[in-house]
A and B are shown apart, each in its own frame.
Chain A
């Protein structure tokens, strides 16, 4: 049984560009959450998707947007990249919005 998968593993972008990160949830899971983890800090909640809708959102600007597809996979989009967006982006899935979350290995984004 494959766990949560994320692509790409690593990504380098230039300030001002846009980026899309992808996540496939664990089999049987319909809820996807996204987190940003800066170096040396704990993950920070960005948003959670369930039934193709954003259900909860953390304290992140509108430059951060997402989407969930009918097969429950999800994308995280970040527009107008800033140097401070450099971080590990983690995707987590769960059976439903209230249950424990399973994390993927993350996508390391570097903005230069």
Chain B
């Protein structure tokens, strides 16, 4: 499975934007870029995903580099509830046998009041 590289930790202030980077230089043409986050004592929660184009949803935006070797998750206004571990994942989909999520270490986001 292709690997992703993320900073171990990042800090932000409440109500400011947060840009969480992810490098995935070995991505293949069919790999989807997924972001999940895990709040303390909870299971991971889906945030957003994309293939080539930038994506927006109610939680965040995903900016994907033109060569797809990196991406950035953008939280437009961080809140204290956004403090979590954020995982950037390349999801390989195999038509006949399903898909798996390969988690790395993730980025621990701290949001300061």
Interface residues of A (CB under 8 A from B): 4, 31, 33, 35, 41-45, 48, 50, 55-56, 58, 90, 92, 97-98, 100-106
> Residues of B within 8 Å of A, CB-based: how many?
23
In this complex, what residue of B is CB-closest to A4? B43
Residues on B with beta carbons closer than 8 Å to the beta carbon of A97: 97-99
- Chain B residues near A101: list those with CB within 8 A: 46, 101
Given A56-B97, A98-B93, A105-B43: A42 and B49 within 8 A (CB)?
Answer: no
Contacts of A44 in B (CB 8 A): 103
* Contact assessment for B45 and A103 in the assembled complex, using a CB-CB cutoff below 8 Å: yes
A-B pairs with CB below 8 Å: how many? 58
Report if B100 contacts A (CB, 8 A). yes
The answer to whether A41 touches B98 (Cβ under 8 A) is no
Q: Given A45-B102, A56-B98, A100-B34, do A105 and B42 touch, yes or no (CB 8 Å)? A: yes
B105 within 8 A of A: yes
By the criterion CB–CB under 8 Å, are B98 and A48 in contact? yes
A102 touches B101 (CB 8 A): no
Q: Which 5 A-B pairs have the closest CB atoms?
A: A97-B98, A103-B43, A42-B103, A55-B98, A45-B100
State the CA gap A43–B44 with chains docked (Å): 9
State the Cβ distance, A88 to closest chain B Cβ, in Å: 8
For A44, give the chain B residue with the smallest CB separation: B103
